[in-house]
A and B are shown apart, each in its own frame.
Chain A
Amino acid sequence: MPAMRSPFSRLSRGASWVSVLQTWRIDVTQAPFDSAHEEQALRERAPGLGALASFLGIVRPEHEGLPLSALWLEHYPDMTQKQLEQLAMQASMRWPLLGGTLIHRYGRLAAGESIVLVQVAAQHRDSAFVATHFLMDWLKTKAPFWKQAELADGQRVWVQAKAQDDQAAKRWE
């Protein structure tokens, strides 16, 4: 993992959080998104970029060994937006980023549908890769979303939080 910069090093030059967040697009939506369209929009928000990393999460067609029809996601709207903005600000404090995109869907998402998109723009690949990884690990353990698995017979069961996700998030503390 590359050495982290002092948290405020790149923000001490007069940049405010407002201007940092202007280079991010954060959206919590039921609607499908288009990764290619989002990538183009991020390129336009981040002039001077030399690297763009992207992670797309997709509804896996199984749950604990059983065929899964869909995931049902609920969230805590007033808190979700704040948490995602905090994640974007954390990533921007830790690495020299030029902007990014965080989109998370909720509602009923059928197997194979896209569920989450993280894109990060930077001058160089290391920052873009590592910040994308960080954002996904922290999003999994900090953003207030809950999944229910809809199985092939229509039964719905709550997805349990995984200890391995907590472990993955801890390495960034």
Chain B
Amino acid sequence: MAPINLVYFAWVRERIGCAGETLALEQSPLPLGEVLDLLIARGGGYADALVPRTQVRLAVNQAYVEMDYLVHAGDEVAIFPPVTGG
């Protein structure tokens, strides 16, 4: 099964320590909240970046989604802080 592509921005990227990575899914689709559970379980910078999970925003294939969104193999999942442009 194709992995998902994870991409991180701003302080989420800094805390996790990389700009992106791939993650193999054991099942597809999978609720996005469960993808975050897998990452948070790694502890360290992942937990710093993603706990509490209300501090991050989520996009799948470049569109905003919520935690209950179903992620499919091959999707691009972005995790980032609330935006501050303009």
Interface 9-residue window, one of A31-39, A41-49, A68-76: A68-76
Q: How large, as a class, is the contact surface on chain B?
A: 10 to 19
Interface centre among B7, B59, B76 (most CB of A within 10 A): B59
Tell me if A73 and B62 are in contact (CB < 8 A). no
Partner of A76, one of B11, B80, B86: B80
Contact between chains at A146 and B85 (CB < 8 Å): yes
Question: Which A residues touch B78, using CB under 8 A?
Answer: 76, 79, 144
Interface size class of A (residues with CB under 8 A): 20 to 34
Q: Please name all residues of chain B whose beta carbon is closer than 8 Å to the beta carbon of A160 when the two chains form the complex.
A: 82, 84
In the bound assembly, the distance between CA atoms of A115 and B10 in angstroms comes to: 18
Given A76-B9, A78-B62, A144-B9: A136 in contact with B85 (beta carbons within 8 A): no
CB of B7 within 8 A of CB of A139, answer no
Is A146's CB under 8 angstroms from B83's CB? yes
Inter-chain contacts of A115 with B (CB < 8 A): 86
Pick the contact of B84: A76, A79, A116, A146 (CB < 8 A): A146
C-beta contact mask, A137-166 vs B, less than 8 Å → 1, else 0?
A: 001111111111000000000111100010
Q: Is B3 an interface residue (CB 8 A)?
A: no
B81 touches A146 (CB 8 A): yes
Chain A to chain B contacts (Cβ below 8 Å), 19 pairs:
A73-B85, A74-B10, A75-B9, A76-B7, A76-B78, A76-B80, A79-B63, A104-B85, A136-B86, A139-B85, A139-B86, A140-B85, A142-B83, A145-B84, A145-B85, A145-B86, A147-B84, A158-B84, A159-B84
